[in-house]
Amino acid sequence: MHALLACGGAAATGGDCGTAALASSTGVVLNKLFDSMEGKDADSLTPEEREARAKLINTIVTGTTALLGGDATTRKLQHRWRRRIMGYLRKRNLV
């Protein structure tokens, strides 16, 4: 789901679909990894903890994407849109 949203967002803004999809999938994996390391599900984090985690994951993925030759700007835009879309879906209990 995340990769599909990322690909669509990147394509709509003239970015690279593959890079955005891979970056988004990596973000999901990192979030699950942090869940298990911290012993906390992302849903149980305070707003401040969520923001800190989102910034950390964004930094890791953006840096890795740039190092691998991907478009870091596309990744940042995709991340913003994914957060907005997922927030909308969560509020309506659709995910």
Cα 41 to the chain's mean position, in Å?
Answer: 16
pLDDT, residue 2, reads 63
* 57 within domain boundaries: yes
Residue range 43-78, pLDDT digits in tens: 888 889 888 888 888 888 777 777 766 666 666 766
Contact 78, 6 (CB under 8 A): yes
Domain that holds residue 64: 2-7+19-91
Domains in the chain: how many in total?
A: 1
Say whether pTM exceeds 0.85: no
Residue 46 lies in a domain: yes
Question: What was the pLDDT predicted at 91?
Answer: 76
Mean pLDDT, rounded, of the chain? 75
Quote the pLDDT of residue 9. Answer: 73
Residue with tokens 């989102």: 54
Dihedral sign for Cα atoms in the order 26, 32, 35, 37: negative
Q: What are phi and psi of 93, to 5 degrees?
A: 55, 40
